Amino acid sequence: MKNLVARIPRKLLFVISGITLLGGGSGAAAVYVGADRLLGPSYSDLNGPKCTTVATMRIKKADRYWIRKYVTTEGKGDGLSRLKTALRVAQTVQRAEKSDLVQVTVLDAAGPTERARMRGRAIGAQVVYIPDLDKVPEGAAVQPINAYYVDGAADQSGQFWGLRIDLPQEDAEAISAALTDDANCLDPTVEGQHALAAPAGHGATTVHGEPTGHGAETIP
């Protein structure tokens, strides 16, 4: 065998070696990128993971209609995927209910269920969607999409740790334009149920037994 290799010209050996390395490299590359190129990005990559509603608040007055939605997402996706879910749901809810403002807040499945605690580190991503800024009181918001997410995972108590990323308007609009689906969240408690009528004179509604009075209008 050694005598056979010795009789092969050195230039030919280099060519054979190069073909072997190239073939091996191509195979490795195919394994590495094959799934994405053959199957394409997943639903979660494009639109954010599916979600479940924790609570919904509807604030109705003579001159405005606002909706706040608190949701959890499937799995342990990253901050950007949570943001895509929030943006997808905010726009879907607004189109369905013709509200002036929709706020979607993404919590962890292990996070709080009481609304007073659904703030601070309990929030993994949040979107405030306002299609018409003329419908919002002055100073409440300055752009149609206000969005941020926490670039980190939640701990066992449902508190998110990491850097807060506030998206520029153009980035939020680009993510919105790339969404390919408009699926809402599953609501296991009030699926298809309308909000209860509020006491006369307030113009607000009650959801999950919680009154939404004047103080509930502040946008976080």
Share of the chain above pLDDT 90, in %: 53
In the DSSP assignment, the letter for residue 199 is P
Q: How confident is the model at residue 9, as a pLDDT?
A: 56
- β 51-61/64-73 pair status: antiparallel
What value does the mean pLDDT take over residues 85-104?
A: 96
| pLDDT higher at 64 or 11 | 64
The answer to whether residue 218 scores a pLDDT higher than 50 is no
Cβ pair 90, 66 in contact under 8 A: no
* 129 closest CA partner among 69, 203, 178, 180: 69
CA 207, 133, 183, 167 dihedral sign is negative
> What's the count of helices (H) and strands (E) in the chain, helices before strands?
5, 9
As a whole number of angstroms, the longest Cα–Cα distance in the chain is 102
- What is the structure's pLDDT at 3? 53
Mean pLDDT of 138-155: 86
Q: Check residues 65 and 14 and name the one with the higher pLDDT.
A: 65
Per-residue confidence band for 133, with pLDDT thresholds at 50, 70 and 90 = confident
Confidence tier at 22 by pLDDT (50, 70, 90): very low
Res. 196: pLDDT tops 50: no
Which of 83, 96, 92 minimizes the C-alpha distance to 44?
A: 83
Region 166-177 average pLDDT: 95
pTM attached to this predicted model: 0.70
